[in-house]
Chain A
Amino acid sequence: MKRLSVLATLALVLLASQAVALEVWIERPRPSEFVFGQVEVLIRAAPEKEVASVRLTVDGRQVALFDRPPFRIAVDVGQENTEHEFEVLVRSVDGELKSAAVVTPALQIDEVVDLGLQQLYVTVSGFGKRVLNLAEADFRILDEGKRQKIVTFERGDIPLTATLLLDCSLSMKGDRLAAALQGANEFVEGMKPLDQAMIMLFSDRLLRVTEFSEDRQMLSQALTRVEAAGGTSINDHLFLALSRLEAVQGRRVVVLFSDGSDVHSVLPMEGVLQKARSSRALIYWIQLRDPRENSEVPEYTSSWRNVEANRREFKELRLAIQDSGGRIEVVESLEELEEAFAGILAELREQYVLGYYPSEAKHDGGWRDVRVRVEKSGLDVRTRGGYFDY
């Protein structure tokens, strides 16, 4: 009997020594760190081979779900000076759950803070296709012409938060609006579980807006029973969309659909351009254009602006889009619309995400030019053109 109990004890000790306890902790940010804007989150779990999934929530909202290491992501916590809670929940291969949390403090007014990570969403294409097989070493980031060390590198599908900004002015009446709504619906249908979107319909005024939501049914519902009427205020509503996006975390995207240019906005595009740059959102413009139009830049007057001023507005809108790392998709027939929306979603799924800490940050509020190059010839690399160094 005594012998049996010794054997049993030995077996238990042996089993216990084999089942190593799973541990999890958040390495970055640290609990004492003040965080604003883009923040690198680094989660450690040991042993990594025991990990089945890692879920990260920031301030109660799920922002990432990993199924393999590295458990590292850059998230945007917004510019508000407030506490942020980073919580991680790890499920082991045996179904065991472990969690860890870090709460970062709000900044006291007399303290100096180093705003850190710059995050770049990069689209690489060549020969009419996107290039998806690049490694971290293939990229070179130049901040004000100086090469930077890449600290985060990701590729593929990263959750996004998008505002679908649709022009419902009178010129969109009939088939045009129906096709645009259908295209936007395709975008919504193509969203993945961690993606969020907001529907914003406008003419010369805001007509409809939803909250940011993952609920595709609710978003699709917002794209029904819409009537085209009124004028066009792109600047005003682009500013509104960018501002609302700025308050959310993660990769931010505006998909603007319009067949015309701004006429009735109270805000000048020059001012919205600043917002576009500071918000760091990717802006895409699906521009429905009449193939009979000769000029790429529209030539029109209104009581508000003459031809020259309208031309300037248009160029600034184009600059905002270019600076954001997005693009203009010119569509000349309604049949191409669904494809245009789907194409943007596909592009977003195939971006590289590079993070770096600027080597010479000045925090003077000045604009810093950023370029990303790929060490391979013949490739087109698109990302945002820079950032304000606050």
Chain B
Amino acid sequence: MQSGQVLAPRIEMRQRPSWRRRRIGPWIAAALWLCSQLVVPSYGYGKPPKLGPSEIQSRYRDVLSILAAGDEDRALEALYELETLVVGDEQPWKRVEDFWRLKLRTLREMLDADSLALLMPVMMLHHDANQMYLERDRPFLAGHSRIMSVELAEIYADRANSSGAREFSGWVMTSLGAMLWYPTSVVSSADLFYRAQMVDPGNPIALMGLGAAYERNANYEMAIDYLTRLLELDPENSVAALHRALCQMRSDETSRDQGLEALKDLQRPEEPSWVRSIAHQELARAQLLDDDVESAKATIRRGLAALPGDQQLALQLAWVLDGARRPKEALGVLGGIVPGDAQVPSPRLIYDVWEPSEMQDIRDRLRRDAAIGLPALADKLGVEAPAGGEQ
């Protein structure tokens, strides 16, 4: 039990009649309230004590000073302490909004045209805080950190107005989106990917993520748009090409023809085997929809010859043969299906759960790049920058 707020009503419900008779109810309630105030921890749970605006700004500057001195781990812990103290667990939107403004004001007071780079380590601090809060199961504070980081990324991209700044900010937002990416719930990620590509239209993960997110929501036109942009930048990206082809197949008639052609291209031996498997499966499916059973059979057989042991292609062939009233042949094909390794996903699962890859490398690079801003931050806060902070 963390506070008396839950305990008091339970007692009250049981005891109410006698309390009323003896008129001691209000006294017991007052005593319980007093106890609850005494047992509430100083921060982290329950109602946090109030800090004034100047105190919040001062303590936020302390956090930034630790960061400027090059100790991001300690800065993260100090930020955790400050944010849990101010915000708590109650999701007080007004208090959070004020807190967020105060932090921005603190930074704005330090910013000038020559010191914009100081935003880089600060946005990474909040980026990493987001991860920390997710790991500590504090989703509300994670969201707060995310908003802070994205806000700084957009300010930095806008004010610095250089391709480097836009690229850095775009990757920070993409990385945040990737942390939230869960195939069955893509809205939060898609919002971040959208904001990332607004500042850096060439960010490949953001474009792919948006394509996949729109595809999941059956908005094939938008998916094709983002995937096309990605393929213009990276024509060899076979994953994007496959997703676009399948979106085209499900879109209008003209796009369908383009999709069919792309599926034929994706059957090349140099493509990943799961891509080839799906290219064969989906081309055959389209041929069946066109009542071209012979072509469908030929496509699947070609796929099986190229990818022997592919369970889904074998099932599809058996199904087509069975539908063509050749059950014995179908049974023969099914007899060849052998169980696979549970840890090896099927091509259709790989396709369905596209997720941002190699993000750890990207995050490490972002942290290295963010160190460029430490001297400017240290200078503004009057602390000593770590040696080698400026590159």
Contact = CB atoms under 8 A, between A and B. Distances in A.
Question: Do A and B share a complex?
Answer: yes
A79 B325 CA distance: 11
B342 A266 contact: no
Nearest to B281: A266
Nearest to A272: B319
A79 B246 CA distance: 38
B interface majority secondary structure? helix
A246 B334 contact: no
A263 B340 contact: no
Given A230-B349, A301-B217, A303-B354, A267 B315 contact: yes
A247 B331 contact: yes
Nearest to A209: B339
Interface string B231-243: 0000000000001
B81 interface: no
Contacts of B216: 301-303
B339 A208 contact: yes
Contacts of A247: 331
Contacts of B327: 79, 243, 246
A304 B184 contact: no
Interface stretch (A102-110, A133-141, A198-206): A198-206
Contacts of B252: none
Contacts of A302: 183-184, 216, 352
Interface in B215-238: 215-218
B299 to A, nearest CB: 13
Contacts of B337: 206, 240
Given A266-B315, A266-B316, A243 B346 contact: no
Given A264-B352, A266-B315, A267-B319, A306 B346 contact: no
Contacts, number: 108
A266 B216 CA distance: 17
A185 B328 CA distance: 32
B254 interface: no
B322 interface: yes
Contacts of A122: none
Contacts of A205: 311-312, 339-340, 342, 344-346
B33 interface: no
Interface stretch (A43-51, A69-77, A231-239, A288-296): A231-239
A243 B329 CA distance: 11
B343 interface: yes
B334 A231 contact: no
A231 B340 CA distance: 14
B136 to A, nearest CB: 23
Given A79-B327, A244-B334, A304 B319 contact: no
Contacts of A307: 218
B279 interface: no
A337 interface: no
A269 to B, nearest CB: 12
A207 B218 contact: no
Nearest to B312: A266
A363 to B, nearest CB: 13
A274 interface: yes
Interface in B163-205: 183-184
A233 B319 contact: no
A303 B349 CA distance: 9
Contacts of A373: none
Contact of A207 (B184, B217, B330, B339): B339
A271 B343 contact: no
A303 B183 CA distance: 9
A104 to B, nearest CB: 18
Contacts of B352: 231, 263-264, 302-304
A239 B354 CA distance: 27
Interface in A177-224: 201, 203-209
B323 interface: yes
Interface in B295-353: 311-313, 315-316, 318-319, 322-323, 327-328, 330-331, 334, 337-340, 342-346, 348-349, 351-353
Given A247-B331, A302-B216, A239 B342 contact: no
A230 B184 contact: no
Contacts of A236: 311-312, 315
Contacts of B331: 243-244, 246-247
A281 to B, nearest CB: 14
Nearest to B316: A266
B68 interface: no
A227 interface: yes
Contacts of A204: 345-346, 348-349
A271 B340 contact: no
B206 interface: no
A274 B322 CA distance: 10
A267 B316 contact: yes
Nearest to A246: B327
A327 B388 CA distance: 71
A290 to B, nearest CB: 14
Contacts of A304: 348, 351-352
Interface string A238-270: 011001101100000000000000011111000
B348 A243 contact: no
Nearest to A390: B325
A275 interface: yes
Contacts of A354: none
Closest 10 pairs (CB-CB, A-B): A306-B218, A231-B349, A204-B349, A264-B348, A266-B312, A204-B346, A303-B352, A205-B346, A229-B342, A205-B340
30 contacts: A80-B328, A204-B348, A205-B311, A205-B340, A206-B338, A207-B339, A227-B342, A231-B345, A231-B353, A239-B319, A240-B315, A240-B318, A243-B327, A263-B352, A264-B352, A266-B312, A267-B315, A267-B316, A271-B323, A275-B319, A300-B184, A301-B184, A301-B217, A302-B183, A302-B184, A302-B352, A303-B212, A304-B351, A304-B352, A306-B217
Given A233-B348, A243-B331, 9 more contacts: A205-B339, A205-B344, A206-B338, A264-B346, A265-B348, A302-B352, A303-B352, A304-B348, A306-B218
Interface of A: 79-80, 168, 201, 203-209, 227, 229-231, 233, 236, 239-240, 243-244, 246-247, 263-267, 271, 274-275, 300-304, 306-307
